[in-house]
């Protein structure tokens, strides 16, 4: 008989609590707080994410049912709706954002050797955003349209392991391209973007920083061809050109030549035009890299399906950001667990198992042992999976 700690305790022990306390101290998170400190608040919010709780009442009911065990999992204070709601309103959301950054760095190290869809040693990022709709009457501070409120999650994802290395939460009115002003480019790194990020001034800044971009061209894109390179049309590449911009403002913002690649996607029967400042990468590799951008779309769908970021436990801006950052931390925690416990399951399966076994007393490895040979085809085809 296993006489050790619960699975929830083992999961929480994966987290670097000293680093968390550093984040708390940085923003005076526990100043004049006698009960329900930030560490307990984070544990409760992580519990809500891992067990699919939809409301404060549901969190309170579940944890009070397990009250004799709460002390042993690090929750020493009384868990009530008022305590959780007050913490969400008053604890600085930057505490949880900074801690998520700590987890990002840890996950990035663990997944550094993950394979890309192409044979490339460089770091490859996908940049995109997703909108989270909110109720206008409850979230007036996030005004978007006349009858609608919303916020936007701008995300820069490292495609080696699908780790979101940068997240910026903004009002939904913020245009996607503006987030490029918040990103510090790394030389030799690839940034893959859709047409919403086509701004030649900002792209030229990426180019000057020795970073590479791959981006879809717009239909009204004006240019002149300088060179045409030989292509193998059997690969889907229809043309590979060196071009320069012809419109007045664009040519002033991007003064050098750009590579233009037209690719036919036979699977979806679409013709795609890519722009890049990398003149050495094979044209078909550029197309494959852009195709891998779909991973960030899957990430957005995944977190909306499996984490609590569509219904919120509080209505203030601080409460919303606290919940989003704890959700991101939970995603990273499960990704870290997958590596450190050497789990073979998908993140979806790991979350499902954790949701019903957090208070069981057994080693984490035993809880997942029966799933070691799980055929992923047995899962619902509607469920999105990452880290296959």
pLDDT score of 2: 57
Q: How do residues 123-144 score in pLDDT, each as one tens digit?
A: 999 999 999 999 999 999 999 9
Tell me which DSSP letter residue 141 carries: G
pLDDT score of 78: 87
pLDDT score of 16: 96
pLDDT score of 267: 85
pLDDT score of 176: 95
Which residues, including other chains, have CB under 8 Å from residue 307's CB and lie 6 or more apart? 49, 327, 330, 331
Q: How many CA atoms lie within 13 A of 14 on its CB side?
A: 23
Residues in the chain: 388
| Rounded Cα–Cα distance for residues 147 and 15 (Å) | 41
Other CB atoms within 10 Å distance of the CB of residue 57: 11
pLDDT score of 117: 84
Q: How would you classify the pairing of strands 190-193 and 212-216?
A: parallel
pLDDT score of 268: 85
pLDDT score of 326: 97
**What residues in the chain have per-residue pLDDT under 70?**
1-3, 370-388
pLDDT score of 370: 65
Q: How many CA atoms lie within 13 A of 300 on its CB side?
A: 18
pLDDT score of 378: 47
pLDDT score of 255: 94
């Amino acid at each position: 008989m296993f006489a050790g700690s619960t699975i929830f305790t083992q999961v929480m022990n994966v987290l670097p609590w000293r680093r968390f306390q550093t984040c708390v101290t940085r923003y005076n998170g526990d100043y004049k707080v006698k009960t329900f400190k930030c560490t307990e608040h984070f544990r409760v919010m992580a519990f809500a994410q891992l067990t699919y709780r939809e409301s404060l009442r549901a969190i309170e009911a579940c944890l009070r049912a397990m009250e004799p065990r709460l002390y042993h999992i690090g929750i020493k204070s009384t868990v009530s709706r008022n305590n959780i709601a007050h913490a969400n309103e008053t604890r600085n959301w930057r505490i949880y954002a900074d801690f998520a950054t700590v987890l990002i760095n840890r996950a990035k190290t663990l997944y550094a050797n993950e394979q890309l869809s192409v044979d490339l040693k460089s770091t490859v990022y996908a940049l995109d955003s997703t909108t989270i709709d909110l109720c206008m009457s409850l979230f007036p501070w996030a005004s978007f349209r006349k009858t609608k409120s919303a916020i936007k999650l701008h995300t820069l994802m490292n495609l080696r392991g699908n780790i979101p290395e940068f997240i910026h939460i903004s009002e939904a009115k913020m245009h996607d391209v503006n987030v490029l002003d918040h990103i510090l480019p790394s030389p030799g790194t690839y940034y893959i973007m859709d047409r919403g990020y086509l701004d030649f001034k900002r792209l030229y800044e990426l180019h000057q920083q020795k970073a590479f971009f791959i981006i879809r061209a717009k239909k009204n894109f004006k240019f002149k061809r300088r060179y045409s390179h030989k292509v193998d049309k059997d690969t889907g590449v229809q043309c590979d050109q060196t071009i320069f911009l012809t419109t007045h403002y664009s040519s002033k913002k991007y003064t050098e030549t750009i590579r233009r690649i037209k690719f036919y996607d036979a699977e979806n029967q679409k013709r795609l035009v890519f722009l890049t400042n990398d003149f050495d990468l094979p044209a078909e590799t550029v197309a494959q890299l852009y195709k891998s951008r779909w991973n960030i779309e899957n990430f957005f769908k995944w977190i909306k399906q499996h984490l609590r970021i569509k219904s919120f436990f509080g209505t203030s801006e601080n409460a919303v950001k606290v919940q989003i950052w704890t959700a991101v931390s939970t995603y990273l925690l499960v990704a870290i667990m997958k590596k450190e416990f050497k789990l073979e399951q998908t993140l979806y399966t790991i979350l499902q198992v954790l949701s019903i076994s957090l208070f069981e007393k057994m080693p984490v490895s035993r809880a997942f042992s029966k799933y070691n040979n799980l055929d992923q085809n047995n899962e619902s085809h509607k469920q999105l999976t990452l880290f296959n």
